[in-house]
Chains A and B, each alone.
Chain A
Amino acid sequence: MILSEDVVDKGGVAMEYVVEMQKIRKEFPGVVACDDITLQLKKGEIHALLGENGAGKSTLMSILFGLYQPDSGSISLGGKKVNISNPNIANDLGIGMVHQHFKLVHNFTVTENIILGIEPTRGLMVDTDSAAKRIKELSEKYKLNVNPHAKIYDISVGMQQRVEILKMLYRSADILIFDEPTSVLTPQEVQELMKIMGNLITEGKSIILITHKLKEIKAIADRCTVIRRGKHIGTVDVASTSGEELAEMMVGRKVSFKVDKNKMESGEVILSLENLSVRNIHGVLGLKNFSLDICWGEILGIAGVDGNGQSEIVESLLGLKKVESGRILFRGMDITNLPIRERINKGLSHIPEDRHRDGLILDYTLEENMILMVYYQEPLSRNGLINWDKVHQYGEKIINDFDVRAGQGSSSLARSLSGGNQQKAIVGREIDRDPDLLIAVQPTRGLDVGAIEYIHKRLVEQRNRGKAVLLISLELDEILDISDRIACINNGELVDIVNADETNENEVGLMMAGIKRGATA
């Protein structure tokens, strides 16, 4: 431990920070990722680092963790200047990080994962028993409730995160960095995590919390440093700053969180899933006897923790996966066994969850990407020959209509665009075909506030024109904000469907955990 408990007494440490990053500057070719950023972490505080995607949060933390070297500026730990040239030094100095995507070996046990790289040995043997004992003690001390002998693939995502936390504690880290830790958790799991963070603080740890979720900051952080486009905007006391003020600091202008949405009468049923059962990648039923109706003129949101049947719904709807039993009726037609292209031509459209994997061909230009579903139709091609002039016009029109910013217009390689612009291009491509049903899966994942606002507006517009939208998202706020009705799924089964204006986060959260309305005490 860097400071012992008795030193941390009010007056004495006024100027003493456990971590002090002074005027950090880091330049990459063409971009200044961090421009004179100062971050001071007091002992025993939760310090939030707030900023949009690409603001420089990760770069700053990578510098603290030794992955990058700053061009200028200094880092002090407990008042002493240090040079963190690689992550091992960061470990030795007591800095630990829980990455957004966990770094765990799935067929190893909890203990094996935690000791990986620093295996205690007895003779030539790995001494797992003593390690497991120590992990158990740590787990009890911080009330983590982790079984050291469980295999990673058997435990929930929330539990895996705790394993990551234990990994840091096992390495005696005192400065803990959490990178977007709540993005994979249910609201209830988030509550649990916050309690754990509280315990960690009581035990004398200090936490840096990287996030773009204001609610979490308000709930748990003591102070907050806001950065925007690599610049240090300010460090504020969370208790005396409102959420709106924080948002304005982050984005640089006033933002409205409310999506303008007037009430709409929804029409007839456009899509019904009837008793659908679909296998997941492991070969077991990921969707069990699932029924759901979607109507013209509504946004139906599907709320659920990741991996509870969402991808099976999407894949069976699109025709990427075979249906075990049940059927899919779209505009009265049975499309259960139609090929993908015919479904698209019947008015189905899809904004995929993983835009790099399923949405775009990154080595194609934007215009080549814009014609991905329609290239074989006239006037884009005739007799198997592509008319590249027409393709160019088609691409230019979409990127103008949907405000896609690209260096060389529609001739830019898709790879060269920012995430937000790539997503706008996909949204443009899918909406431009005027689909009757738009399936939007995590349409705003990883985007900044501006792009999120824009895409939400487009989805609502689509519904206002009387079309149907199926929104699948892990962001509960997004579901609550723009859906008309919310279907909650758990473990491949429908828990319940509720009207968006008659429910709240807590209720939906419980349903996501599989607890029906009114079933709680």
Chain B
Amino acid sequence: MKIKFNNEYFLSLIAVVLGLIAGSILMLVAKSNPVEGYIYLFQGGTMNIERIGNSLATATPLIFTGLSVAFAFKTGLFNIGAAGQMLIGGLCSTAIGLTFAWPKPILLIVMLLAAMIGGGLWGALPGLLKSKYNVHEVVSTIMMNWIAYWTVYYTIPAYFKGQFLETESRRIPYEASLKVPWLTDLFYGSYINLGLFLAILFVIIIAFILNKTTLGYELKAVGYNRHAAETAGINVNRSIILSMVIAGALAGLAGATFYVGYASNMQIGVLPSHGFDGIAVALLGANSPVGVMVSAIFFGLLHTGKGFMNAMTSIPPEIADTIIATIIYFSATSILIQRNWDKLKKKLGGAK
């Protein structure tokens, strides 16, 4: 067990290193000094408390979408719909935040619950389609992404139109924001918000569900071997739906932490990139909750640092995106890395 875990993290580390090497090659091609580039990239994410706060704030929704994808993966489902579930979660919480004028604690709790329910429903439908009609979840979740996209596109201007712009919602009031003064002050005015603590809480909850409960045992059993689980009397259809609901609820929370935490309003016509980034986060984190958190923070750092790197050098910020893409590529092909690694070990072993 222990060895297996270490091995997976080791593979993720190799993927990161390979991604960074690929990035430095690109920087060389762009006639820049990679060492310098990386120094500015990481400085950009960590050089002062405000920037650290921003890195963590950027990582927060990624932790949720990463958890969402990883959780579905554990049940053998590929949730490509985190983006749509996130939009709906964000829409639900924004709607409540703009509609009711309750005290902050109550309002926030209701908003978060609404985000979970909205995202959960958005995940439930593909789950239902999969279990009843064997519609592949990759197809249905992608379609749900666009349904969410257009739902937001029409709902925001119709009911929550912004003061000046047609294309965004009104700003949410202070009571409806996950930002709190003491935290903002602590990090010298960064975007950091309560969502980070919520994310850490959910990392623990999901790890607990997966490792300690009968529910986690069932869902993983279905994910590893659907046939054996069914033969043993586990209700596979229920597990698939439930897993998608939980994954959807997690992505819904990503929406809340992004639209009423990191940001203060919702823009229309944007499918958040967090959905696909979540897949990368889950892959890099070897689908374990803690791994997801670590890799989400790493991605948050790269996202925050790329602007600084661009400002200080002539390296285009797209290089940072390319590094992320390369890391995704390498972690997706980690089986290949593993195989080559085994071969290398065998060769070295044989030479002795």
Report the tally of A-B residue pairs with Cβ distances under 8 A.
66
Q: B163: CB under 8 A from chain A?
A: no
Q: A440: CB under 8 A from chain B?
A: no
Give every chain A residue within 8 A of B220 (Cβ-Cβ): 364
| Option from B215, B224, B231, B235 in Cβ contact (under 8 Å) with A359 | B231
Give complex CA distance A360, B233 in Å: 13
| Option from B215, B224, B231 in Cβ contact (under 8 Å) with A364 | B224
Q: B10: CB under 8 A from chain A?
A: no
Give every chain A residue within 8 A of B349 (Cβ-Cβ): 29
| Option from B215, B221, B231, B234 in Cβ contact (under 8 Å) with A358 | B231
A352 touches B225 (CB 8 A): no
Give every chain B residue within 8 A of A340 (Cβ-Cβ): 230-233
A363 touches B214 (CB 8 A): no
Q: B229: CB under 8 A from chain A?
A: yes
B217 touches A352 (CB 8 A): no
Give complex CA distance A352, B229 in Å: 12
Q: A372: CB under 8 A from chain B?
A: yes
B213 touches A373 (CB 8 A): no
Query: CB within 8 Å of A: which of B217-261?
Result: 217-218, 220-221, 224-225, 227-235
The answer to whether A385 and B214 touch (CB under 8 A), given A361-B224, A364-B221, A372-B221, is yes
B214 touches A350 (CB 8 A): no
Interface core residue of B1, B232, B235 (most chain A CB under 10 Å): B232
Q: B212: CB under 8 A from chain A?
A: yes
Q: A386: CB under 8 A from chain B?
A: yes
State how many residues of chain A have any CB contact under 8 Å with chain B.
29
Closest partner residue, chain A, to B222 (CB atom): A361
Give every chain A residue within 8 A of B213 (Cβ-Cβ): 384-386
B233 touches A375 (CB 8 A): no
Give complex CA distance A368, B212 in Å: 12
B230 touches A320 (CB 8 A): yes
Q: B31: CB under 8 A from chain A?
A: no
The interface bits of chain A over 386-411 (1 if a CB of B lies within 8 angstroms of the residue's CB, else 0) are 10000000000000000000000001
Give every chain A residue within 8 A of B224 (Cβ-Cβ): 361-364
Q: B352: CB under 8 A from chain A?
A: no
| Option from A318, A362, A381, A385 in Cβ contact (under 8 Å) with B231 | A318
A411 touches B228 (CB 8 A): no
B217 touches A386 (CB 8 A): yes
Give every chain B residue within 8 A of A141 (Cβ-Cβ): none
A341 touches B231 (CB 8 A): no
Give every chain A residue within 8 A of B132 (Cβ-Cβ): none
CB distance from B114 to the nearest CB of A (A): 26
Q: B346: CB under 8 A from chain A?
A: yes
The answer to whether A373 and B227 touch (CB under 8 A), given A368-B217, A386-B214, is no
Give complex CA distance A365, B218 in Å: 14
Closest partner residue, chain A, to B346 (CB atom): A29
Give every chain A residue within 8 A of B233 (Cβ-Cβ): 339-341, 343-344, 373
Closest partner residue, chain A, to B215 (CB atom): A384
The answer to whether A372 and B228 touch (CB under 8 A), given A340-B233, A341-B233, A411-B1, is yes
Give complex CA distance A464, B230 in Å: 30
B214 touches A361 (CB 8 A): no
Query: CB within 8 Å of A: which of B100-134?
Result: none
A357 touches B225 (CB 8 A): yes
Closest partner residue, chain B, to A369 (CB atom): B228
Query: CB within 8 Å of B: which of A206-244?
Result: none
Q: A153: CB under 8 A from chain B?
A: no
Give complex CA distance A318, B215 in Å: 23
State how many residues of chain B have any CB contact under 8 Å with chain A.
22
Give complex CA distance A447, B51 in Å: 63
Give complex CA distance A360, B221 in Å: 10
Interface core residue of B217, B233, B234, B346 (most chain A CB under 10 Å): B233
Give complex CA distance A350, B232 in Å: 9
Query: CB within 8 Å of B: which of A293-335?
Result: 318, 320
CB distance from A443 to the nearest CB of B (A): 15
CB distance from B10 to the nearest CB of A (A): 18
A361 touches B217 (CB 8 A): no
Give every chain B residue within 8 A of A381 (Cβ-Cβ): 214
| Option from B1, B212, B232, B346 in Cβ contact (under 8 Å) with A372 | B232
Give every chain A residue within 8 A of B214 (Cβ-Cβ): 375-376, 381, 384-386
Closest partner residue, chain A, to B208 (CB atom): A385
Give complex CA distance A381, B216 in Å: 12
CB distance from A354 to the nearest CB of B (A): 8
Give complex CA distance A372, B228 in Å: 9
Give complex CA distance A445, B346 in Å: 33
CB distance from B119 to the nearest CB of A (A): 23
Closest partner residue, chain A, to B213 (CB atom): A384
Interface core residue of B225, B229, B230, B231 (most chain A CB under 10 Å): B231
B346 touches A357 (CB 8 A): no
Give every chain B residue within 8 A of A29 (Cβ-Cβ): 346, 349
Give complex CA distance A339, B237 in Å: 12
B225 touches A361 (CB 8 A): yes
CB distance from B214 to the nearest CB of A (A): 5
B231 touches A320 (CB 8 A): yes
B231 touches A361 (CB 8 A): no
Give complex CA distance A350, B233 in Å: 11
A375 touches B225 (CB 8 A): no
A361 touches B1 (CB 8 A): no
Give every chain B residue within 8 A of A344 (Cβ-Cβ): 232-233
Give every chain A residue within 8 A of B212 (Cβ-Cβ): 385-386
CB distance from B232 to the nearest CB of A (A): 4
A362 touches B225 (CB 8 A): yes
Give every chain B residue within 8 A of A386 (Cβ-Cβ): 212-214, 217
Give every chain A residue within 8 A of B225 (Cβ-Cβ): 357, 360-363
Give complex CA distance A344, B229 in Å: 13
The interface bits of chain A over 367-380 (1 if a CB of B lies within 8 angstroms of the residue's CB, else 0) are 01000110110000
Closest partner residue, chain B, to A381 (CB atom): B214
Give complex CA distance A368, B229 in Å: 12
Closest partner residue, chain B, to A377 (CB atom): B214
CB distance from A247 to the nearest CB of B (A): 34
- Chain A residues within 8 Å of B, Cβ to Cβ: 29, 318, 320, 339-341, 343-344, 350, 352, 357-365, 368, 372-373, 375-376, 381, 384-386, 411
- Chain B residues within 8 Å of A, Cβ to Cβ: 1, 212-215, 217-218, 220-221, 224-225, 227-235, 346, 349
User: Can you report 27 residue pairs joining A to B where beta carbons are below 8 Å apart?
Assistant: A320-B231, A339-B233, A339-B235, A340-B230, A340-B232, A341-B233, A341-B234, A343-B233, A350-B231, A352-B231, A357-B228, A358-B227, A358-B228, A359-B228, A361-B224, A362-B225, A363-B224, A363-B225, A372-B232, A375-B214, A375-B218, A376-B214, A381-B214, A384-B213, A384-B214, A385-B213, A386-B217
Q: 8 other contacts beyond A344-B233, A359-B228, A386-B214, with CB at 8 A cut-off? A: A340-B230, A341-B233, A341-B235, A358-B228, A358-B231, A375-B214, A386-B212, A411-B1
Chain A to chain B: the 8 pairs with minimum beta-carbon distance, closest first:
A341-B233, A372-B232, A340-B233, A358-B231, A361-B225, A363-B224, A361-B224, A344-B233
